[in-house]
C-alpha cells in the first residue's frame, strides 16, 4: 500500500491512497481556511469509522438491523492540547436485542485501528530527494 500526501497553499493537504481515494485536509484559521477536517480529525474519524465497521459486521453476521447504530467519539485533551484519551460510545437504537448487545460491543472493539493505538508500532520518518525531471 502506498499513501502519498501533497502540500498545497495555506494549510491544505491532499492525501491519495493507492491512487484510488483522495482525502483533503486543512487547518482552522488563522493557519488555514477550515475547508476540510484537520489531519488529526481524519485520524480520530478513522478510529470511529473502523469501530462502526466492526459493529456492522456483527450485525451482518447475525442478520440484525444496523440502522440507527452510531459510534460517538470524544477525544479528551490534556495540557498543550495533547490527546490523553479517546472515549467512544456504541449507541444502539431502542429495541436492539439485549442478547446481542455484549457481542456487538465485543466485536466493535476488534477494530484494528484501535488495536494499533493500544500497542503502537514504531514510526519511521526519513528524508528523501525527489528524482530530477528530464
Report pLDDT digits (tens) over 29-55.
999 999 999 999 999 999 999 999 999
b/e for 16-35, b at 16 or more Cβ within 10 A? eeeeeeebebbbeeeebeee
Fold of 38-118: GMP Synthetase; Chain A, domain 3 (3.30.300)
CA separation for the pair 56, 52 (Å, rounded): 6
Query: Which triple of cell numbers denotes residue 110?
Result: 476488534
The pTM of this model reads 0.91
pLDDT the model gives residue 132: 79
Residue ranges per structural domain of the chain = 1-36, 38-118
| % helix, strand, coil for the chain, step of 5 | 35, 25, 45
Phi-psi region of 19 (alpha: psi -120 to 50; beta: other; left: phi over 0): left
Amino acid at each position: 500500500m502506498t499513501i502519498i500526501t501533497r502540500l498545497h497553499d495555506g494549510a491544505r493537504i491532499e492525501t491519495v491512497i493507492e491512487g484510488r481515494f483522495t482525502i483533503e485536509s486543512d487547518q482552522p484559521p488563522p493557519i488555514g481556511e477550515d475547508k476540510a477536517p484537520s489531519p488529526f480529525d481524519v485520524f480520530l474519524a478513522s478510529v470511529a469509522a473502523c469501530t462502526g465497521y466492526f459493529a456492522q459486521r456483527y450485525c451482518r453476521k447475525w442478520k440484525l438491523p444496523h440502522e440507527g447504530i452510531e459510534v460517538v467519539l470524544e477525544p479528551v485533551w490534556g495540557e498543550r492540547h495533547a490527546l490523553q484519551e479517546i472515549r467512544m460510545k456504541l449507541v444502539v437504537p431502542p429495541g436492539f436485542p439485549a442478547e446481542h448487545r455484549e457481542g456487538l460491543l465485543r466485536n466493535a472493539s476488534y477494530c484494528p485501528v484501535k488495536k494499533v493505538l493500544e500497542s503502537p508500532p514504531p514510526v519511521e520518518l526519513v528524508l528523501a530527494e525527489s528524482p530530477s525531471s528530464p
